[in-house]
Structure 1
Amino acid sequence: MRNYGGLVDAARCFARDRSGNFAVVFGLAASMLTLGVGFSVNISQLYNARSSLQGVVDAAVTSTARDLTTGVIKEADANKSVQAFLDANSQAGVLQANQIVMDRLIVDKTAKTVQADVHADIALYFPIFGLSDMRRVGASTTALYSDKSIEVAMMLDVTGSMAQNIRGKTNKIGDLQTAASAAVKDLLDNNIDPKNPRVRVSIIPYAEAVNTGGLAGSVFVEQKNGPDLPPPVDAPVSVAVVTPPDNCATERKDKDGYADYSSDGPSQPRLNNSGRTYLARVNRDDHMSRNCPKPALIPLTADKQKLLDTIAAFKADGVTAGGIAAQWGYYMLSPTWRSAIVDAKLGTGPANFDVKKVAKVAILMTDGQFNTAFAGGRGAPKSQNAGQMSRGNAEGICANMKRDGIEIFTIGFDLDDPSMTSTEKDQAKTVLQHCSTADTSSLKHYYEAATGPELDDAFSAIVQNIERLTVTK
């Protein structure tokens, strides 16, 4: 019998030796792992390329839309503008120079939109066997632009509480001058053609009253124990001759002595309780003191230096008649005051209300509670004090402004001042919140600022929101 022991042992050794099997399995696994890593790298590369491409085209179209809005370029220049931006930023992220190709640019003059479609061909880091080593990624974006003009009325508190305190630790009037001046510059720097300005600004400094300046002819000066209404148009000339102590005005009163919330111009004919016609001039109440703000209001203008000089002349004095401030902000944006402003040689006056052609914006700023008024609103209790009347008048006028399409931003400055009671603080905040336009997902309208830098930030944010308004409404 043959001895097969050695053969059996050799077979057993071969069976136990798995090194060859492992090499085969390892080779297959390594190949799959390499392929997986390659796919992952390529996917990451394409994702980053698409993200970079989207960022570049978004910025290019947004920049072009902004230039169309501000008048830097015309619609015919949009293609050149987008292409120049793409060329200048073609190496963003993982992109290489001259990779971005613009497929098409559409400027829709009816919808006021700019749309760009672009692509880039990307060379893959890990070409896969049997597949092209290039991949195309695309991106598209659309942005709105506008040819609206912008009119902004800034109602700014110059009352005594804004003064620099005796220890010099705070100087709120100085903070306001800094912030308001910066806002004026930012707004008017958007004007390309001085002869045809896209943006105009009005400033209404207020305290106990508003100094009407060159519009003093629109004011009816009340006399002690005299009527609250201007004389009828057919009254003797001597009846209407009154020497005003200043150019200040308070509320306009209706025929029954209530505050008039309308934006009617001063030449609007009205009927008194005797059926006689008078003109709707604005009252200077006979109870008003001599604390008339020194700087006069400035109707809408693109004269930056004139506005800045007015702000530089602010002096803090007097009490807070917020309803009167809102009233004059309304007047400076209302086309019914255009003829009075033109006749006074103070500019061309406000444009007509037309949300498609003009954005009208009011900014109401105060550092405290509205506490002064000389006429209450119709239907309000007779027992109202001056503060209640002022707040009620402000809210009534703000409601009419918003009804007419005026966007209202409000700023409460240092409203947590320890010198104010909690009730006063709440009342101050409430009236500003009620006056402001309701916030949206992208636009904030009510701001609080505790310090000068925060006040500057609030004005800056509002200026940015004003620009957004021109392309969202």
Structure 2
Amino acid sequence: MRNYGGLVHAVGGFARDRGGNFAILFGFAASVLALAAGFSVNISQLYNARSSLQGVVDAAVTSTARDLTTGAIKEADANKSVQAFLDANSMAGILQADQVVLDRLTVNRTASTVQADVHADLALFFPIFGMGDTKRVTASTTALYSDKRVEVAMMLDVTGSMAANWWAKTDKIGDLQAAASGAVEDLLNNNIDPQNPRVRVAVVPYAEAVNTGGLAESVFVEQAGGPNLPAALDAPINVNSSAPRRPDKCATERKDKDGYADYSSDGPSEPRKNNQGQYYPAKVNRDDRMKTCPKPELIPLTADKQTLLSTIASFKADGVTAGGIAVQWGYYMLSPDWRSTIAAARLGTGPADFDSRKVAKVAILMTDGQFNTAFAGGRSAPRSQNAGQMSRSNAENICDNMKRDGIEIFTIGFDLDDPSMTATERDQAKSVLQDCSTADTSTLKHYYEAATGPELDDAFSAIVQNIERLALTK
């Protein structure tokens, strides 16, 4: 207790001391606190300035990269573009007018990047510790740009199940028209120069068959009991002239020499050998069993927005779902093997070569139900397959070939939980769409389901955004 008593006595004596020691200590403590407060204010000021500066340079570089991608500016104009953005936004946050300085802008053609390094000299609120009156704050950012072309083929379901239903208060064909039209608008709005479009879109409406429109000369019309192949190239003219009269412009699957479905993207003039060793053109078949030809015609790749929108506006719901035929014609619209045929029909310049460095090729497959119709099955498929199994198998095999060629495939299942479908039908519809779509990545989703018109519109919008990401990252 004596030790504790001495300590209490000493503390009491210090408290009663009226000398200068305590004032000196208090002054020292106050100075330290003031310096700490000033240092804290400076740190906060520098942090806010750096955050503001980073935001400005991020926006400037991202905007410039986007303009380079869409063709709004040339590479030589990139420096001017970034500087103009910095000047217009230099008062962001706590920055002052004309305070942001562009030190360096680097456009890397090999990596397809735009990098900007900037700084701002900040007047400190509390110049302490020999820091001077100003402090330099720096920021740097890099953004990807792309000079790739973009080619998109949209395979759109116009079958009878898409018809408006007054009882259920649904209008699926109207929902599709609105969503697909919005996607076309969004895609083609990225074109700055109509004479040299960066983005082109093809539309393939499908039901029991595909209406080939201006490409009807690429179709071989079968007749009941007749051959499945066009006449040989060296056959007498009178044999070729006796080909059956064309009842419409529709096509089903292309068949090989043995009557199996052909999964290739070969052009229709590609010479093939029949079982007699004679060459014949690889035209696409119009099966003689086909009954209903869709009215809307396919449109090969084009940047003509009005033509595409008019075609979509003409959609009428009718017929059954030949999904394998739809995928086949989507493949043709993106394959350079069809370029000469499309050009000869005066329907545009046709698809570019498969080259992921120069062009992003994308397919969008949309349906509201199970693929249930086909006129030919694959060579390795069992003979016992029904039309639905053949259609799904054909679609999946062609999708595999498309992905092998570098085509990115997005799929949309619309109203697949419709109670009129059985559980098996729903599962089969979802399975083929999932199998056809490109595998998802951490940043890109490829398979979508939509239950309503607004959800369908959201799915198309998300895919359009993903297409831009693809052009930048692949």
What's the secondary structure of 2:164's corresponding residue?
A: coil
Matches within 5 A, 1:15-94: 17-18=16-17, 23-94=23-94
Q: CA deviation at 1:248?
A: 0.6
Q: CA deviation at 1:25?
A: 4.4
Q: Distance in 2 between matches of 1:114 and 1:425?
A: 47
CA deviation profile, 1:44-67 (whole Å, cap 9, x unmatched): 222222122111111111111111
Q: CA deviation at 1:33?
A: 3.1
Report the equivalent of 2:4.
Answer: none
Matches within 5 A, 1:371-450: 371-450=372-451
CA deviation profile, 1:364-387 (whole Å, cap 9, x unmatched): 111111111111112112211111
CA deviation profile, 1:409-440 (whole Å, cap 9, x unmatched): 11111112122222222211111111111122
Report the equivalent of 1:196.
Answer: 196
Q: Distance in 1 between matches of 2:56 and 2:154?
A: 37
Task: Kindly indicate whether residue 245 of structure 2 is the aligned counterpart of residue 243 of structure 1.
Answer: yes
Structure 2 CA distance for partners of 1:28 and 1:426, relative to 1, 3 Å: farther
Report the equivalent of 2:142.
Answer: 142
Matches within 5 A, 1:272-421: 272-289=274-291, 291-421=292-422
Q: Normalised by the size of structure 1, how large is the TM-score?
A: 0.94
Matches within 5 A, 1:158-237: 158-167=158-167, 169-237=169-237
Q: Distance in 2 between matches of 1:436 and 1:64?
A: 32
Select 1:266's aligned residue among 268, 272, 293.
Answer: 268
Q: CA deviation at 1:355?
A: 1.2
Q: CA deviation at 1:19?
A: 6.6
Q: Distance in 2 between matches of 1:150 and 1:68?
A: 14
Range with bigger deviation, 142-151 or 175-184: 142-151
Give the letter for the 1:17 counterpart: R
CA deviation profile, 1:129-167 (whole Å, cap 9, x unmatched): 533232211111112222211111110111111111132
Structure 2 CA distance for partners of 1:274 and 1:102, relative to 1, 3 Å: same
Structure 2 CA distance for partners of 1:17 and 1:156, relative to 1, 3 Å: same
Q: CA deviation at 1:185?
A: 1.1
Q: Distance in 2 between matches of 1:463 and 1:157?
A: 19
Q: Distance in 1 between matches of 2:155 and 2:11?
A: 100
CA deviation profile, 1:301-321 (whole Å, cap 9, x unmatched): 111111100000000111111
Q: Distance in 1 between matches of 2:178 and 2:342?
A: 28
Give the letter for the 1:280 counterpart: A
Q: Normalised by the size of structure 2, how large is the TM-score?
A: 0.93
Q: Distance in 2 between matches of 1:136 and 1:12?
A: 49
Q: CA deviation at 1:453?
A: 1.1
Q: Distance in 2 between matches of 1:183 and 1:37?
A: 56
Q: CA deviation at 1:81?
A: 0.2
Q: CA deviation at 1:15?
A: 5.4
Range with bigger deviation, 193-202 or 13-22: 13-22
Q: CA deviation at 1:328?
A: 0.2
Q: CA deviation at 1:37?
A: 2.9
Q: Distance in 2 between matches of 1:463 and 1:166?
A: 31
Q: Distance in 1 between matches of 2:13 and 2:468?
A: 82
Q: Distance in 2 between matches of 1:118 and 1:170?
A: 55
Report the equivalent of 1:7.
Answer: none
Give the letter for the 2:460 counterpart: F
Give the letter for the 2:207 counterpart: A
What's the secondary structure of 1:412's corresponding residue?
A: strand
Report the equivalent of 1:4.
Answer: none
Give the letter for the 2:119 counterpart: H
Report the equivalent of 2:455.
Answer: 454
Give the letter for the 2:220 counterpart: F
Q: How many residues align?
A: 462
Give the letter for the 1:265 counterpart: G
Q: CA deviation at 1:86?
A: 0.7
Q: Distance in 2 between matches of 1:207 and 1:221?
A: 18
Q: CA deviation at 1:23?
A: 5.0
Q: Distance in 2 between matches of 1:357 and 1:15?
A: 83
Q: Distance in 1 between matches of 2:284 and 2:342?
A: 14
CA deviation profile, 1:326-357 (whole Å, cap 9, x unmatched): 10000011111111111111111111111111
Structure 2 CA distance for partners of 1:216 and 1:32, relative to 1, 3 Å: same
Report the equivalent of 2:155.
Answer: 155
Q: CA deviation at 1:14?
A: 5.8
Structure 2 CA distance for partners of 1:427 and 1:22, relative to 1, 3 Å: farther
Q: Distance in 1 between matches of 2:84 and 2:231?
A: 65
Identity of aligned residues (%): 79
CA deviation profile, 1:71-110 (whole Å, cap 9, x unmatched): 1111111110000011111112222221111001112233
Q: Distance in 1 between matches of 2:373 and 2:344?
A: 31
What's the secondary structure of 2:170's corresponding residue?
A: coil
Give the letter for the 2:375 counterpart: F
Q: Distance in 2 between matches of 1:15 and 1:432?
A: 85
Q: Which runs of 5+ in 2 are unaligned?
A: 1-9
Q: Distance in 2 between matches of 1:58 and 1:276?
A: 63
Select 1:256's aligned residue among 255, 258, 272.
Answer: 258
Give the letter for the 1:85 counterpart: F
Give the letter for the 1:352 counterpart: D
Q: Distance in 1 between matches of 2:303 and 2:14?
A: 96
Q: Distance in 1 between matches of 2:385 and 2:11?
A: 110
Structure 2 CA distance for partners of 1:25 and 1:153, relative to 1, 3 Å: same
Q: Distance in 2 between matches of 1:367 and 1:12?
A: 87
Structure 2 CA distance for partners of 1:232 and 1:13, relative to 1, 3 Å: closer
Report the equivalent of 1:6.
Answer: none
Q: Distance in 2 between matches of 1:68 and 1:47?
A: 31
Q: Which runs of 5+ in 1 are unaligned?
A: 1-10
Structure 2 CA distance for partners of 1:385 and 1:131, relative to 1, 3 Å: same
Structure 2 CA distance for partners of 1:237 and 1:127, relative to 1, 3 Å: same
Give the letter for the 2:46 counterpart: L
Q: Distance in 2 between matches of 1:415 and 1:226?
A: 39
